Structure 1
């Protein structure tokens, strides 16, 4: 297939390989106290969580004026609301009179926010409008007593919040390069097809570490090795100011050993790994059939493989359904790219679908616990989008929710790791080269801690 020039996904052609990255480029020794010590988490709370942009939901959760949702960060509570002017804003979830919570649920719709304590009321833009028996309460500066603002903005269909009202613009925090590389996927047009939130018995960084490397696949997900070829030497990486992306080109296992039939069957067995595959398979089968002779024998000419056919099938399918994939490369039709947006957002993405992991400190402040929010998104047209759109599942009984196999394996492994990290004799972790994204994440974490400590 002929590639168009200048597509953002072509960064893979110049991305760093493991061989080009120094063995200790960002540090390989990670202290265990950052996973278990209350004091370390308190530093993170003050110097990272209170000052960085973090995803709090999707724009689609707030479609109408007055739609609101709450976001909890440790013991802090915030309101995110769509105003009558269409803008999405954020406020501290507390009445300016006596501090009562304004919104106690997860989400809703309101014409105004009314405090149920003394009936003070606020417009959707946060301005104080009504005071009970105002004529006898003495002078009240309604501008000064309006709701306390927090920074809120949107990117790629996600709503971001920064508790700091004077935060740098989200566009600067994300960075122009990151925005350019993600734009062709049309993330803002995808809808959730899985959405689960659950408290875990591990530190939030254990979750981030787990999804930022593929080194654990052989030990935790051995069944994937029967389907997918993982060659670390082919992986490519790119590092930004705070964020990073890595990609290991996809191919079916034993592609160099097996013949065309086995390659085709290998791809058909990946429906759990690639949720959009069932939509693509009809076109995939058509393209495969074109390479069978009159006796049904399958032979691929030079330059054609099951991988390239899958890429063409994906491009044809999505284009036919109405998704513009013209600025995605052929590799982006089949290969998941793993994106880490600091501090707590990890996403694998390919044409038409993405999987997002978010990890938050536990509201209790216990560093040995966290809350993870796992979501899958797909691009689906019209009626299919309505049919497959998933609602949030809030798991309240630990272990009661059954995740798909690979995710279930991670769920169990991360909590086992935290149990090991609590051993006091273990004072550090030793990262290897394949864990370079993990290393960079902790490098950025340390940089933020140091910078804010000096400010």
Structure 2
């Protein structure tokens, strides 16, 4: 039943009119986006202490598969152990600190090329060249347990590998909290990057990206072609600690008063942005045809539950393909849920597909640049995943990847915003109530950065 599914908590979440704004700061200091001092504080108090997505579980499918994860000037190795578990280690030999891994690969053991110290996939020191140089072999064996690679917390959820640079971090389940239960029914772990899987540098602060995808207020100005499909006035919200989710019903009041033809055309236009919707359109058309009167005419648009038909078609179509959608509410089938997993994970998702965007600080620490990773995620039966998985495209500096229309519009707009935010004469930006998630998000940033400084 609908009321037994986790998604009902979002379906029944408050709208803007129901939210108490008294605890929110609606002015955000602009130095958060360009100040080197603030970036330094973020690095130490936030990025080097928080759970963050380092990659996907299918990046290291077999024991011995590994990849390097970099953040600023820090580097870690994430490896699949012989026991099937993913682990993370500081990418530095315990002898003289040499970084011995770069990129990705497969290995039976890690051997530092500087002096040939070697480590197992579990990080334990296996051997050194000429142990007699360190005195007796017995002395070396006695110290062996202390000289393994430095391990950092690594856990998995929804097909993603999370890493925390803080070796004393609380478990990932404690950090994600309720978000884990709400996201689990989507079966994200069974989705793959499909069609779009790109990492690119962009001329804006990483928080500009995070801000842009937490509100629909800009649709009217930046994405006019989406107005018919997105109704931000009907958004519902749920806040889960530092994380949050919002949902805007497909169509809703934006299409009220439109003809049947226009509303059906809007549904048929959805695959331009959400490709997997095309799978359910034949069934949707069948259900629609079933509403014709005896004389062959269609009833009034007000007498045809188009939204319900779309949801029914999506449920039936995905179930026919093998995707278990039994844990999703009807709204989770058709409506986009906009997830933020703090600090840098954005996922727009409905049944069977999603668009993932992650923003990372620029390696050099330049506050006016960052990286974003963009993936279209789509569910396929297990036997079709390998053939459809899109490899990662790393865009070279000075080049640009052409995205689909809405994302290309965001790409351009975010860089315009960064140019404005750099103006030191403007000390703060002002939020509207429709941007409540930004207020919540920046309150979380303040609690990590400023809270840590108070504790220190």
TM-score of the superposed pair, with normalisation by structure 2: 0.95
> In the aligned structure 2, how far is the partner of 1:5 from the partner of 1:167?
35
Query: What residue is the counterpart of 1:235 in the other structure?
Result: 235
Distance 1:296 1:277, change over 3 A: farther
1:103 to 101, 104, 109: 101
Q: Does 1:195 align with 2:197?
A: yes
Unmatched segments (≥5 aa) in structure 2:
none
Please show how residues 253-272 of structure 1 align to structure 2 within 5 Å: 254-272=254-272
> In the aligned structure 1, how far is the partner of 2:302 from the partner of 2:436?
35
What CA deviation, in whole Å up to 9, does each residue of 1:308-332 have, x standing for no partner? 1110010000111111111111111
Distance 1:439 1:4, change over 3 A: closer
Of stretches 200-209 and 395-404 in structure 1, the one that deviates more from structure 2 is 395-404
Give the CA deviation at 1:294.
Answer: 5.8
Local SS of the residue matching 1:184: helix
Give the CA deviation at 1:303.
Answer: 6.6
> In the aligned structure 2, how far is the partner of 1:231 from the partner of 1:451?
33
Please show how residues 74-153 of structure 1 align to structure 2 within 5 Å: 74-104=72-102, 106-138=103-135, 139-140=139-140, 141-153=143-155
Give the CA deviation at 1:169.
Answer: 0.3
Please show how residues 406-417 of structure 1 align to structure 2 within 5 Å: 406-417=406-417
Runs of 4+ off more than 3 Å: 22-25, 293-296, 300-304
> In the aligned structure 2, how far is the partner of 1:47 from the partner of 1:246?
27
Unmatched segments (≥5 aa) in structure 1:
none
Aligned partners of 1:192 and 1:378 also within 8 Å: yes
> In the aligned structure 2, how far is the partner of 1:445 from the partner of 1:5?
33
Distance 1:162 1:70, change over 3 A: same
Higher share of residues assigned helix: 2
Local SS of the residue matching 2:365: coil
Please show how residues 279-428 of structure 1 align to structure 2 within 5 Å: 279-293=279-293, 296-299=296-299, 304-428=304-428
Give the CA deviation at 1:253.
Answer: 7.5
> In the aligned structure 2, how far is the partner of 1:442 from the partner of 1:295?
58
Give the CA deviation at 1:11.
Answer: 1.3
Local SS of the residue matching 2:349: strand
Q: Does 1:41 align with 2:39?
A: yes
What CA deviation, in whole Å up to 9, does each residue of 1:323-354 have, x standing for no partner? 11111111111001111111111111111111
Aligned partners of 2:361 and 2:371 also within 8 Å: yes
Q: RMSD of aligned C-alpha atoms?
A: 1.7
Local SS of the residue matching 1:196: strand
Query: What residue is the counterpart of 2:19 in the other structure?
Result: 21
Query: What residue is the counterpart of 1:205 in the other structure?
Result: 207
> In the aligned structure 1, how far is the partner of 2:294 from the partner of 2:125?
78
Give the CA deviation at 1:170.
Answer: 0.4
> In the aligned structure 2, how far is the partner of 1:128 from the partner of 1:157?
30
Aligned partners of 1:80 and 1:90 also within 8 Å: yes
Give the CA deviation at 1:386.
Answer: 3.0
Query: What residue is the counterpart of 2:66 in the other structure?
Result: 68
What CA deviation, in whole Å up to 9, does each residue of 1:20-40 have, x standing for no partner? 123454211101111001010
> In the aligned structure 1, how far is the partner of 2:299 from the partner of 2:271?
24
> In the aligned structure 2, how far is the partner of 1:420 from the partner of 1:399?
23
Give the CA deviation at 1:298.
Answer: 2.4
Distance 1:450 1:281, change over 3 A: same
> In the aligned structure 2, how far is the partner of 1:414 from the partner of 1:382?
37
Aligned partners of 2:2 and 2:8 also within 8 Å: no
Local SS of the residue matching 2:4: coil
Distance 1:170 1:408, change over 3 A: same
> In the aligned structure 2, how far is the partner of 1:416 from the partner of 1:229?
24
TM-score of the superposed pair, with normalisation by structure 1: 0.95
> In the aligned structure 1, how far is the partner of 2:447 from the partner of 2:166?
18
Give the CA deviation at 1:13.
Answer: 4.5
Give the CA deviation at 1:451.
Answer: 2.8
> In the aligned structure 2, how far is the partner of 1:393 from the partner of 1:29?
37
